[in-house]
């Protein structure tokens, strides 16, 4: 399966913590970096391991986009989220209706088949416990 953006996310088994967003973890100070870094922005350490992060994330802000782009049919939702590991990211959120979606909403990462041979990802609202 071809990923929509191979630089941005890992599938199950591709890295520790996967599936999730493609990041690095500093072996010296433990900081996570996304986008993936070559030098740790916190301690300047250079031993960084690839890792998937953001299996869970918290919504900070979102917008409903009414003009299609980048292969996405409008309306669709883009969110700005904070991953549970710390880094923030702009991500697609499943669905066309943002009812109930608010600052602090708990989200989870999932992969999504696109057509017959591609795979993408999005966040969806975490199922109620």
Partner 1 sequence: MSEHNRPVYVAGIGFHRFGRFAEKTLKQMAGEAILGALDDAGIGVRDIDIAFCANAYAGLLTGQESIRGETWLRPLGIAGIPIINTENACASGSTAAHLAIMALRGGDYETALVVGAEKMFVGDTDRTIRALASSADVEVMGGVGLQFAAVDAIRVKEVMQEEELGEDALEWVTVKSHANGVHNPIAQYQKALTAEQVRQSRMISEPIRLFMCSAISDGAAAIVLTTRKPSRAVRIAASALVSSPIRERDGETSIVKRAAERAYAQAGLGPEEIDFAEVHDAVSPAELIYYRELGFCPPGGVAQFVRDGAAAIGGRLPVNPSGGINSRGHPVGATGVAQLADATKQLRGDAGPIQVEGARTGLVHNAGGWMVRDPAVNCVHILQAA
Nearer to partner 1, 17 or 87 (CB): 87
Q: Is there binding between residue 31 and partner 1 (CB under 8 A)?
A: yes
Supply the minimum distance, in Å, between the C-beta of residue 42 and partner 1. Answer: 6
Is 26 in contact with 7 (CB distance < 8 Å)? no
Phi and psi of 20, rounded to 5°?
170, -175
Is 49 in contact with 24 (CB distance < 8 Å)? yes
Supply the minimum distance, in Å, between the C-beta of residue 36 and partner 1. Answer: 9
- For residue 128, the 8-state DSSP code is P
- For residue 37, the 8-state DSSP code is -
Interacting residues with partner 1 (CB under 8 A): 3-5, 7-8, 31, 35, 41-42, 60-67, 69-72, 76, 78, 80, 86-88, 90-92, 103, 120
């Amino acid at each position: 399966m071809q990923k929509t953006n191979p630089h941005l996310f890992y599938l199950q088994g591709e890295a520790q913590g996967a599936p999730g967003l493609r990041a690095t973890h500093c072996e010296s100070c433990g900081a996570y970096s996304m986008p993936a870094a070559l030098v740790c922005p916190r301690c300047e350490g250079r031993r960084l391991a690839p890792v998937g992060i953001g299996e869970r994330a918290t919504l900070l802000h979102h917008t409903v986009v009414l003009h299609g782009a980048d292969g996405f049919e409008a309306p669709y939702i883009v969110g700005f989220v904070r991953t549970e590991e710390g880094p923030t990211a702009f991500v697609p959120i499943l669905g066309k209706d943002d009812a109930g979606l608010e600052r602090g909403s708990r989200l989870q990462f999932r992969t999504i088949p696109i057509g017959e041979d591609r795979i993408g990802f999005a966040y969806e609202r975490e199922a109620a416990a």
